[in-house]
């Protein structure tokens, strides 16, 4: 071998030694879908101003601190009740007048009844007297006297009948009048009771044990003492931290890969990353925009924790998830960095003593930093980086 050929061979060997290569490996690969999400409670209650007649703005007088743990029945927020109190004072005055009118009505109706009872008694006496005179058989009396006695008897009988009718009418009328007066008292009493209940309802109490989370308004502002909120506007979310779950946002291209029951690795964001395990228990029915600013299409997935930790988990915490959608056993893999995508074709360059040899391959999956090769290479093949 001449000196020139030997020098060329040495240079070629040296070049081959300097070229970095990757070897086709056979591995067990987990196909993973990554997404992000937010912790929420399985059991929550929204707290908003109560429905009070003729009230649309509610001023906050008292507000329990955020992140407080509260018990069922504890006051969460108190709203200003001045408007209701003013109406209660006016209505209470109406009730006092109505009750006084009822008392006067009872007295007057009783007096009128007693007067008519006396009239009936008097007419009964006159009737009995006229009756006795009409029944006397005395031939010494003239026919005119007997005729007069009969007429007096008839008049007394009619007067007694009329007096009894008046008494009966008065008693029936008394029942109606007293019912009307009592009805007015009952109606106003009910209104007074409603105002008292409204005042009590303006002190909104916790419907269950839970943690207090302030709800931001459309401007992103959280409620505070002294501020006013509109009717129906949620100001507090009461959450049971012992029953936490994760609401994840799955990208539309990954929608066909996830399914109920799949295992999920959950990493909570924070100063110290915490890792938990869980599984998918619910999938959303519709796709939506991720946000008003981010138009990427996503759908929601609910993930249950295998074991939750109430000491560190809080509603609203963000997390990253990895869903194992498939497990590929004994597949051929290469780093994704050694594969070139040219016009939709995947190309690698085999290590060669002469030159880089291009090779078209088929890829079934791209998982993280690796590609899964379905055709074109064999175990142990070397590919130039």
Give residue-wise pLDDT tens across range 176-231.
999 999 999 999 999 999 999 999 999 999 999 999 999 988 888 899 999 999 99
Contact in structure between 152 and 58 (CB atoms under 8 Å) = no
d(CA 192, CA 98): 13
Cα angle vertex 241, ends 239, 243, to 5°? 100
Res. 50: pLDDT tops 90: yes
Convert the pLDDT of each residue in 115-133 to its tens digit: 999 999 999 999 899 888 8
pLDDT score of 351: 77
pLDDT at 252 over 70: yes
Q: In this predicted structure, what is the pLDDT of residue 18?
A: 60
Our CA angle for 307, 312, 313, nearest 5°, is 65
Q: Which CATH architecture has domain 19-31+327-384?
A: Beta Barrel (2.40)
Mean pLDDT along residues 14-24 = 68
What's the confidence (pLDDT) of residue 378? Answer: 86
Residue 355 pLDDT exceeds 80: no
Residue 10 has pLDDT above 50, yes or no: no
pLDDT band at 311 (very low <50, low <70, confident <90, very high): confident
What pLDDT score does 271 carry? 64
- Radius of gyration of the chain from its Cα atoms, rounded to whole angstroms: 48
Cβ-count burial of 33 within 10 angstroms (0-12 exposed, 13-18 middle, 19+ buried)?
buried
Residue 138 pLDDT grade (very low, low, confident, very high; cuts 50, 70, 90): low
Question: What number is the average pLDDT over the span 153-174?
Answer: 92
pLDDT digits (tens, 9 = 90+) for 253-268: 888 889 999 999 999 9
Summarised one tens digit per residue, pLDDT across range 83-101 is: 999 999 999 999 999 999 9
Q: What is the dihedral of CA 88, 93, 98, 99, to 10 degrees?
A: 100
CA–CA distance, 183 with 185 (Å, rounded to integer): 5
Residue 8 — very low, low, confident or very high, per pLDDT cuts 50/70/90? low
CATH architecture classification, 33-42+240-326: Beta Barrel (2.40)
Identify the bridge partners of residue 328 per DSSP, sorted by sequence position.
29
Distance CA 249, CA 19 (A): 43
Tell me which fold the domain 44-79+202-236 belongs to.
OB fold (Dihydrolipoamide Acetyltransferase, E2P) (2.40.50)
Tokens of 354: 């002469």
């Amino acid at each position: 071998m001449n000196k020139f050929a030997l020098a060329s061979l040495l240079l070629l060997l040296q070049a081959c030694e300097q070229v970095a290569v990757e070897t086709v490996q056979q591995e067990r690969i987990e196909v993973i879908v990554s997404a992000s999400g937010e912790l929420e409670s399985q059991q929550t209650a929204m707290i908003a101003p109560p429905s009070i007649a003729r009230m649309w703005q509610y001023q906050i007088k008292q507000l329990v601190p955020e992140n407080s743990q509260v018990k069922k029945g504890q006051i969460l927020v108190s709203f200003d009740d001045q408007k209701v109190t003013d109406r209660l004072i006016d209505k209470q005055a109406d009730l006092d007048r109505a009750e006084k009118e009822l008392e006067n009505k009872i007295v007057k109706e009783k007096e009128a009844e007693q007067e008519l009872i006396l009239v009936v008694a008097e007419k009964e006496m006159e009737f009995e007297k006229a009756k006795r005179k009409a029944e006397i058989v005395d031939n010494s009396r003239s026919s005119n006297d007997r005729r007069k006695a009969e007429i007096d008897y008839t008049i007394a009988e009619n007067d007694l009948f009329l007096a009894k009718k008046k008494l009966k009418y008065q008693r029936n009328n008394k029942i109606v009048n007293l019912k009307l007066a009592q009805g007015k008292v009952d109606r106003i009493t009910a209104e007074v009771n409603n105002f008292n209940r409204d005042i009590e309802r303006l002190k909104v109490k916790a419907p269950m044990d839970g943690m207090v989370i302030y709800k931001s308004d459309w401007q992103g502002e959280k409620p505070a003492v002294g501020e006013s909120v509109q009717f129906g506007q949620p100001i507090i979310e009461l959450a049971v931290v012992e029953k936490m779950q994760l609401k994840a946002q799955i990208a539309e291209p990954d929608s066909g890969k996830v399914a109920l029951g799949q295992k999920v690795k959950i990493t909570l964001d924070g100063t110290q990353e915490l890792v938990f395990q869980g599984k998918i228990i619910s999938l959303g029915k519709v796709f939506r925009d991720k946000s008003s600013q981010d138009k990427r299409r996503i759908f929601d997935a609910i993930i249950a924790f295998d074991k939750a930790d109430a000491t560190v988990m809080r509603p609203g915490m963000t997390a990253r998830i990895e869903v194992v959608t498939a497990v590929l056993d004994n597949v051929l893999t290469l780093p994704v960095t050694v594969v070139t995508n040219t016009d939709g074709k995947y190309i690698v360059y085999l290590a060669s003593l002469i030159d880089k040899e291009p090779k078209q391959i088929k890829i079934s999956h791209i998982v993280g930093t690796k590609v899964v090769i379905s055709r074109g290479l064999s175990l142990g093949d070397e590919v130039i980086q």
